[in-house]
Structure 1
Amino acid sequence: MANTSAIFIFVISALLVISAKAFEEVKFGYDGATKPALWASLHPAFKDCSHGSNQSPINIVKGDLTLNKDLPPLTRNYKQANASLINDGNRVMLRWAEDAGELLSDGKSNMLKELYWHLPSEHTINGERFPLEVQLYHESKDGNISMLSILYQYGGPDPFLSQMEEQLKELAEDNCSEDEEAVVPLEAVKTKQLRRNTLKYYTYLGSLTTPPCTENVTWNILGKVREFSKEQEIALKAPLEKGYLQNSRPLQSLNGREVQLYTAATTGDN
């Protein structure tokens, strides 16, 4: 019986590994046969992309917010750490190779793992879509996901992005095959600009904005819109294939969800 149980566990584990590998190899896109409306048909694990009730992104309507005075400030204890700049086929992203610090939310520590650039923004404010949205992905020890989003308009260069100018050029020159990630190492990525104080943010319960569109994700969108340059926009798009130059999922229905507002005692829009 013991041997039978061991064999059964081994088989299940092997099937899970095969399933996970198949999941990773599924190519999704933003137009044509792999567009967002068809994501759920690409793999059984993507079913929430069409059938989930708490999907992201959403339009944030300032007149429909719930002011929650009990919300805590967003404490970001990020730190300098090594990372990799990656073109994963549908977006440019950062993946930290070591401890890059944490986001404290609801008294829980959420470790910073990855950062994604989406052009144009996925979330909108009062129907306004911005040229860029930066999304920081965090995980707690119990597996909960928290996202922190920063919206950008055209203006001066973003200092955080400026530090990886040469590596972005290198990423754009990497001619890897379609099923491979292009990876460029980055040493000691500075995170000071990601830790700036926040006087206002919006929060709601949503999902990942790419397959498998996992739900029960806590979203925190900063109220202060920052700036980046058009030259930086060109640099972020350079590594991407033509069909991914605009890599934003369409807005999803709120389905009765509440969007809460945090404001500090000091008036402002940060």
Structure 2
Amino acid sequence: MKYQRNTTLVSTFLIILVVFLCYSTSVLAHEVEVEDEREFDYSESSEKGPRHWGELKKEWHACKTGKLQSPIDMTSDRVEVFQKSEDLQMMYKPAQSIIKNRGHDISLQWPNKDAGSIKINGTEYFLQQAHWHSPSEHTINGTRYALELHMVHQSNDPNVKNNIVVVGLLYDFGSPNHFLSLLVGNISTMIDQIHEKPMGVIDPSLIERGCNKFYKYIGSLTVPPCTEGVTWIINRQTASVSKEQVHAIREAVHDYAEENARPLQRLNKRKIELYDPQAQPIKFKRLF
């Protein structure tokens, strides 16, 4: 009888542990971004379009009620310019990767979370994945670009309030992008399917991140659940991408996401900082 009671206790404990781990993993996934999600789209006329994201699920309410939503327009007269940058370090390294068609975008992921990190004022945020939006979601002085890359990082420190950092890179049409050239062959074979492929070792430091001039502001994820408190770092210098590369990315995702850019969101008196070592400090104007 004593043995049976011990066995029952152990079995009960294991069941509780499995449920807890599954729940924790689910919460973390929803906090960062949806995966393989077909319950929203990008059509303004659709009942599942951006205007209705916050009504589709209760955990997506921030998409409708949030005050710190992304993307935004980095208009010059809203920006405060600084010569001295924050203590920002990017420390990436080669690691095993997979490429995944999530339906609403193409995502390059480092499953072991060992591809390096970005450190801001001493806090380290580890690279999770990178994905693309076409056309760009963020704009500069009203200009929308051909493509936008998001490199998503997350801190493991439970005491960090804003634990997600996204590094954004804008692309102009021009010569083929070297980093995308490494991936586009695999992307082209994933047309209209949600699946993944091993990519072997990929070094994220090969992504052309431009110069040390960048915008910084506090916003949100640009897809459901539109989690707020995301630190955005947008490179001011653009990269180059060919029309064929953008076409390959658009063709691979589902039809509803061929143009997968969320509309611009209100600034709501947020502060936008531009770090430019060569510029003179300029105070920004709050428009709304």
Would you call these one fold, judging by a TM-score over 0.5? yes
SS at match of 1:104: strand
Count of residues paired in the alignment: 256
Offset, 1:97: 2.1
SS at match of 2:217: strand
Q: 70-79 or 55-64: which moved more? A: 70-79
Q: 95-104 or 49-58: which moved more? A: 95-104
Aligned to 1:168: 187
- Counterpart amino acid of 2:199? L
Determine the C-alpha separation between the residues in 2 that align with 1:236 and 1:157.
Answer: 13
With normalisation by structure 1, the TM-score equals 0.85
Larger Rg: 2
**Paired residues for 1:65-76 under 5 Å:** 65-72=79-86, 74-76=88-90
Offset, 1:70: 4.8
Contact 2:71 2:264 in 1 (8 A): yes
Offset, 1:186: 0.4
RMSD value, Cα: 2.8
Q: 1:154 to 1:197 in 2, by over 3 A?
A: closer
Picking from 19, 23, 27, the partner of 2:39 is 27
Q: 1:256 to 1:228 in 2, by over 3 A?
A: same
Determine the C-alpha separation between the residues in 1 that align with 2:98 and 2:118.
Answer: 20
SS at match of 1:111: strand
**Paired residues for 1:55-94 under 5 Å:** 55-72=69-86, 74-94=88-108
Residue 220 (structure 1) aligned with residue 236 (structure 2): no
Contact 1:77 1:195 in 2 (8 A): no
Offset, 1:141: 1.4
With normalisation by structure 2, the TM-score equals 0.80
Unaligned 5+ segments in structure 1 are none
Determine the C-alpha separation between the residues in 1 that align with 2:205 and 2:20.
Answer: 41
Task: Give % identity.
Answer: 34
Unaligned 5+ segments in structure 2 are 1-8, 281-288
Offset, 1:197: 5.5
CA deviation string 1:173-226 (max 9, x = no partner)? xx64xxxx3101101113333265622100000000000000000000001011
Contact 1:170 1:184 in 2 (8 A): no
Determine the C-alpha separation between the residues in 1 that align with 2:24 and 2:47.
Answer: 27
Offset, 1:240: 1.4
